[in-house]
C-alpha cells in the first residue's frame, strides 16, 4: 500500500501522536517546527500530500507553487487568512478549516461573563480581599425572565442562547442571514433590526464573524438606542464593538457592565482608554468589566478535538472523499 506524506510545518513541537492515531501506520508525518517556509526544504514541500497548517506560515502563491503532490491544506483552526485560497484552487488543492472545535467552550465563556457580572462576583471578590463582609451589591440581578439579545445566531450564538434559556431568560436574536423557522424550532423571538436588540435586551451577546458589515456595528448610534442598561458580552471579534463608544456608554451609565474576551487591539495597549482605566482600577469602571485574553475557545478537550478533526479532514480528502469544511470553493464549477 502507498504511504501518505503528511506535513505539519509549524507550531506543533511535540510528537504528532494524536494525528498518527488517525492516519494509522501508512503515514509518514513530518513535523517542521518552522517559523518560515524556508525552514523546510523544497523537497519536503514538493512531496507532501496533505498539510496540517497552523497559523505561523504564510501559504502565499510562491509557497503553493512549490507543492507538487499536495491535495489538501487544512488550517488547524478557524481563520484561514494565511492561505492564498485561489492559488491553492488553481493547483487543485482543497483548503479547509475546522470551524467548530470550541463552540461549547465559547458559549460557556459568554455565560461565565453573564453569571459573573450578574452575580456581582468581581465586586464581592474585591471587597472580601479587604475583609469587607457585605452582601449588598448593585451589580446583582435576577436572570429569570430577563431578555437576552443574541446578535448572530450561528453555532456559538445558538449554544449561548440555549444555555441562557435554561436560566429562564427570554431569547431574542438578530441574524438576517438565517432561514425562517429557526426561531420556531428553538422557541426564540426573531427581530429584524439591531435597533430592537438595543431596545429590548437586558443582556446583549455578540456572535457574528468580523466582516465589513459587522466591523464597528456596535457603535455610538447603537448605544444611543439601548433602554435597559444592558450587560454587553463580546466573545466574537474585538473590532465589532467601537471601544470608545462602549467607554462613553459605560461612563454615562447607559451600559451597566461588559464582558470582553476580544479587543480591537490584542494584546491591549495604551490606545484603548477603557482598558487602561480598568487596568488602573479606576473607580468608575471597577467591578463592571471583565476581560479575558481571547481564550473563549480554550480547553484541553477543544485542542484535542481541533487536532483530531483537522487530521480526519486530511484523510477524507486524500481518500478521495469530499471535504466537510472546504473554504476555497474547490467543489464549485467555475
Q: Which residues are catalytic?
A: 237, 266, 294
Contact pick of 119, 248, 294, 312 for ligand NAD (by CB under 6 A): 294
CA distance 309 to 64: 23
> Interface with ligand NAD includes 157 (CB under 6 A)?
yes
Task: Decide: helix, strand or coil at residue 199.
Answer: helix
Q: Which x/- pattern, by CB under 6 A, does the window 92-121 give for ligand NAD? A: -------x--xx--x---------------
Contact pick of 63, 151, 169, 274 for ligand NAD (by CB under 6 A): 151
CA distance 222 to 246: 10
* CB neighbour burial string for 113-139, b if at least 16 within 10 angstroms, e if fewer: bbebbbebbbbbeeeeeeeeeeeeeeb
Positive or negative CA dihedral for 222, 223, 228, 232?
positive
Could you give the C-alpha distances from 87 to 15, 47, 314, 330, in angstroms and in order?
Answer: 31, 18, 19, 11
Closest distance of CB 238 from ligand NAD, Å: 9
Nearer to ligand NAD, 7 or 98 (CB): 98
Contact pick of 140, 178, 186, 276 for ligand NAD (by CB under 6 A): 178
CA distance 308 to 85: 23
φ, ψ of residue 30 to 5 degrees: the values are -105, 125
Nearer to ligand NAD, 47 or 199 (CB): 199
> Interface with ligand NAD includes 243 (CB under 6 A)?
no
Closest distance of CB 110 from ligand NAD, Å: 9
* 16-24, 48-56, 148-156, 181-189 -> range binding ligand NAD (CB under 6 A): 148-156
Show contacts with ligand NAD in window 14-73 (CB under 6 A).
none
CA distance 218 to 241: 5
CA distance 234 to 177: 20
Show contacts with ligand NAD in window 221-240 (CB under 6 A).
235-237
Task: Decide: helix, strand or coil at residue 27.
Answer: strand
Joined together, the cell numbers standing for residue 10 give 509549524
Closest distance of CB 159 from ligand NAD, Å: 8
> Interface with ligand NAD includes 141 (CB under 6 A)?
no
Closest distance of CB 116 from ligand NAD, Å: 16
Residues that bind ligand NAD (CB under 6 A): 78, 99, 102-103, 106, 151-157, 174-178, 207-211, 213-214, 235-237, 261-262, 294, 296-297
Amino acid at each position: 500500500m502507498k504511504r501518505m506524506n503528511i506535513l505539519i510545518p509549524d507550531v506543533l513541537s511535540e510528537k504528532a501522536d494524536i494525528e498518527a492515531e488517525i492516519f494509522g501506520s501508512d503515514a509518514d508525518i513530518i513535523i517542521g517546527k518552522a517559523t518560515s517556509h524556508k525552514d523546510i526544504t523544497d523537497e519536503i514541500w514538493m512531496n507532501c500530500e496533505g498539510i496540517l497548517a497552523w497559523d505561523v506560515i504564510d501559504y502565499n502563491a510562491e509557497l503553493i507553487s512549490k507543492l507538487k503532490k499536495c491535495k489538501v491544506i487544512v488550517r488547524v483552526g478557524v481563520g484561514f487568512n494565511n492561505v492564498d485560497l485561489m492559488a491553492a484552487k488553481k493547483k487543485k488543492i482543497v483548503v479547509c478549516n475546522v470551524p467548530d472545535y470550541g463552540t461549547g467552550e465559547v458559549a460557556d465563556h459568554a455565560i461565565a461573563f453573564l453569571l459573573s457580572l450578574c452575580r456581582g462576583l468581581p465586586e464581592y471578590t474585591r471587597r472580601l480581599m479587604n475583609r469587607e463582609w457585605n452582601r449588598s451589591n448593585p451589580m446583582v440581578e435576577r436572570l429569570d425572565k430577563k431578555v437576552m439579545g443574541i446578535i448572530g445566531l450561528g453555532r456559538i450564538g445558538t449554544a449561548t442562547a440555549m444555555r441562557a434559556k435554561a436560566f429562564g431568560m427570554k431569547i431574542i436574536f438578530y441574524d438576517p442571514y438565517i432561514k425562517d423557522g429557526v426561531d420556531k424550532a428553538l422557541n426564540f423571538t426573531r427581530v429584524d433590526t439591531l435597533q430592537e436588540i438595543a431596545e429590548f435586551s437586558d443582556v446583549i451577546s455578540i456572535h457574528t464573524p468580523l466582516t465589513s458589515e459587522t466591523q464597528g456595528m456596535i457603535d455610538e448610534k447603537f448605544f444611543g438606542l439601548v433602554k435597559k442598561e444592558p450587560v454587553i458580552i463580546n466573545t466574537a471579534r474585538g473590532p465589532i464593538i467601537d471601544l470608545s463608544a462602549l467607554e462613553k456608554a459605560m461612563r454615562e451609565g447607559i451600559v451597566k457592565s461588559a464582558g470582553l474576551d476580544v479587543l480591537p487591539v490584542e494584546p491591549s495597549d495604551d490606545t484603548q482608554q477603557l482598558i487602561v482605566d480598568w487596568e488602573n482600577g479606576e473607580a468608575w469602571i471597577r467591578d463592571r468589566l471583565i476581560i479575558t485574553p481571547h481564550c473563549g475557545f480554550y480547553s484541553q478537550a477543544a485542542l484535542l478535538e481541533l487536532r483530531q478533526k483537522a487530521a480526519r479532514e486530511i484523510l477524507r480528502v486524500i481518500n478521495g472523499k469530499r471535504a466537510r469544511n472546504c473554504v476555497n470553493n474547490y467543489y464549485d464549477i467555475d
